[in-house]
Structure 1
Amino acid sequence: MLKQTPHLFYSMLALVAILCLFDLINAPVALLLGVVVAQLWSSPMPKATSKLSKYILQYSIVGLGFGINLVHAAKAGTTGLAVTALSITLTLLVGMVIGRRLGIGRNISLLISSGTAICGGSAIAAVAPVVGAKDDETSVSLATIFLLNAIALLIFPFIGRLLDMSQLQFGFWSAIAIHDTSSVVGAASVFGSDALNIATTIKLERSLWIVPVSLLFSYLYGGGGKRASVPLFIILFVVSMVVGTYLPIPHGLLLGVTSVARRTLNVALFLIGMGLSFKAIRSVGVRPIVLGVTIWLIVGVVSLYGIRVFL
């Protein structure tokens, strides 16, 4: 650890927050910066920093809800809905089974499985406070998902062309097997406009599963073993989706709200990364990465086979 003063620490914190808010660094970079800072400095107020990251995460999730159009998500159709429901359920079950086999803690297994099944970092951000995940558990899970997400963005268009997939097939596959919406959009846009439209719609539908999955985990695991009530931020997330879809709010205003939410999410990811020291990394080992890779390969291969056969 480098010698520090609270003034230096908070100045650095303010600088990174400004970089995030002005969209000069993205989510993976924000998380990585937090991890680097954790190795060099220790927070003078670790409990306050941890609490602040959780609040910012929850507010960001609510803000992102304004960008999810319920009508557009519903237009994915019955085929997309069936495939989505089946893939999410199987991914969560397989992830928990493999996580137990690997001896990984329940929270990390839940977070990585949710991130793989639904929508990457956003799902982890929503599920983490519901199950009471610690900062190091959230950081390890996010780092695993972001790594695989970046790899998927690069290799999926290449694989799709190598296998001569149609626009429809690639749209479905990228929406199911790539974690974050941003990388789904990026990969599909490279493949073609039709693939992009299909992938975006299916991914919107998958994003809606944040709500039932979070509620399920809240019921099963929240409240220290007691049956937890519905988290307020999940209720507000649903409200924000309804407001963004049905009220006559200018589109530019909705885009502004979701843009701010995405940037504040980066601030939260930086704070979360600060909880991931080498000591924390050593405590969890490489098993979370093995879990993330294993689930991702299973989801990618099985969904690819099903799409190639039935679409």
Structure 2
Amino acid sequence: MEQKKNSFGFIIGLIISAGMGLLAKALSSLPFLSIMGQLVIAILIGMIWRAIWGIQTTWQGGIAFSSKNLLRFGIILLGVRLNLADIWNAGPKLLLLAVLNLTFAFIIVIILSKLFKIDKNTSLLTASGTAICGAAAISAISSQIQAKNQETAISITTIALLGTLFTLGYTYLAPWLGLSPANYGLFAGSTLHEIAHVVAAAAPFGKEAMNLAVTVKLTRVALLVPVAILISLFTHSTNQGQSRNWKSIQIPWFIFGFLFMSGLHTFHIIPETWVDPILLVSYFFMATAMASLGLNVDIKEIRRVGKKTMLVGLIGSIFLSIFGYYFIVLLS
């Protein structure tokens, strides 16, 4: 009887999380909410549900499955968005831009986090979201460092709000930046947080701006692989002192799945007509995972500890924008 009850609870937890993922997809098609994106909306729905109705203990199995397994499946499928040939053809200049901006953003957020005395996990997650690709990067790295739900939610919420704010700011300031459409696309793609933010900021300035913005952004997404491995090595070394038991290091195998899917897309093994449907499934899985994450988050706790993280993210994003702008001017 107890086993049946647990199985039923598992299914209910999974259905609720999946329903929230679908609702987030529908809401993300609305004008203003489209900037926030499906993943961020999903986590907010989960948080609101918990705050109003709470969750049953028997649901935890399905919720946990969503937040871990479906998340990894989603990230693997997300690789189909990345065509490695586009990054190769863009040349070393674009790769250099992505690497330097990523490195700068990561270092500056880590330094600021130490100054503001933010815990290590939240610091790493916020740095990853700022430097790489927003909620998707935070989700991938959180599983590597075994971050708490609160830490992950605080980081995702911070990056989502700041990304939306900066997207609107870029669109308004663009005419006064003195950049060509191509350079503005490079600027947006190398400094904004989410792919949705990059598209929203670059689209009003033409096809050239959009193409370059997305290409440099996807180059940052590709850098998630080495960053995830380095963080895994770093956290293992920190926890184990100077000893290195390589067998115990948590290799992010799902990241290699991400690269595998990118390879299938690059070599046209996956038909182009399949890409969009696969991406829909990918984002559905990740949105379901984000919703389940939100179901385990206490909004009061976020309000208590999230203010400093928001300030660090804001300052770090401002520094990244300034650094990225002047680097592009220098390269022009």
Aligned residues: 307
Selected match of 2:206 from 176, 192, 198: 192
Selected match of 1:53 from 67, 70, 73: 67
Deviation at 1:309, TM superposition (A): 3.6
Deviation at 1:37, TM superposition (A): 1.2
> Which structure 1 residue ranges, 4+ long, deviate > 6 Å from structure 2?
5-11, 21-25
Aligned-partner residue type, residue 260 of structure 2: V
Give deviations 1:97-145, integer Å, cap 9, x for gaps. Answer: 1111111011111111111111111111111101111111111100011
Instruction: Confirm whether residue 274 of structure 1 aligns to residue 278 of structure 2.
Output: no
In the TM superposition, 1:184-263 aligns within 5 A as 184-222=198-236, 225-226=239-240, 228-263=249-284
Alpha-carbon distance change, 121 to 15 in structure 1, aligned in 2, over 3 angstroms: closer
Selected match of 1:289 from 284, 298, 310: 310
Instruction: Confirm whether residue 40 of structure 1 aligns to residue 55 of structure 2.
Output: no
Selected match of 1:80 from 94, 99, 102: 94
Deviation at 1:176, TM superposition (A): 1.4
Aligned-partner residue type, residue 248 of structure 1: I
How many angstroms apart in 2 are the aligned matches of 1:27 and 1:288? 19
Give deviations 1:237-265, integer Å, cap 9, x for gaps. Answer: 12111122114221111221112101221
Partner residue, 2:23 = 19
Structure 2: stretches of 5+ with no match in the other structure: 1-8, 30-37, 241-247
3-state SS, counterpart of residue 270 of structure 2: coil
Structure 1: stretches of 5+ with no match in the other structure: none
How many angstroms apart in 2 are the aligned matches of 1:31 and 1:179? 17
User: Identity across aligned pairs (percent)?
Assistant: 27
Cα RMSD between the aligned structures?
A: 2.4
| Structure with the higher fraction of residues in helix conformation | 2
Deviation at 1:17, TM superposition (A): 4.0
Deviates more, 1:16-25 or 1:260-269: 16-25
Deviates more, 1:114-123 or 1:27-36: 27-36
Partner residue, 2:120 = 106
How many angstroms apart in 2 are the aligned matches of 1:36 and 1:254? 32
3-state SS, counterpart of residue 239 of structure 2: coil
Q: Provide the TM-score with structure 1 as the length reference.
A: 0.90
How many angstroms apart in 1 are the aligned matches of 2:108 and 2:18? 41
| Contact persistence 1:171–1:195 (CA under 8 A) | yes
| Contact persistence 1:34–1:273 (CA under 8 A) | yes
Alpha-carbon distance change, 71 to 136 in structure 1, aligned in 2, over 3 angstroms: same
| Contact persistence 1:21–1:260 (CA under 8 A) | no
Aligned-partner residue type, residue 251 of structure 1: E
How many angstroms apart in 2 are the aligned matches of 1:149 and 1:70? 25
Deviates more, 1:299-308 or 1:100-109: 299-308
| Contact persistence 1:112–1:292 (CA under 8 A) | yes
How many angstroms apart in 2 are the aligned matches of 1:117 and 1:304? 15
Alpha-carbon distance change, 66 to 6 in structure 1, aligned in 2, over 3 angstroms: closer
Partner residue, 2:33 = none
Partner residue, 1:66 = 80
How many angstroms apart in 2 are the aligned matches of 1:281 and 1:80? 37
3-state SS, counterpart of residue 147 of structure 2: coil
How many angstroms apart in 2 are the aligned matches of 1:10 and 1:70? 34
3-state SS, counterpart of residue 319 of structure 2: helix
Deviation at 1:47, TM superposition (A): 6.2
How many angstroms apart in 2 are the aligned matches of 1:222 and 1:301? 33
Alpha-carbon distance change, 182 to 7 in structure 1, aligned in 2, over 3 angstroms: closer
| Contact persistence 1:140–1:276 (CA under 8 A) | no
| Contact persistence 1:38–1:276 (CA under 8 A) | yes
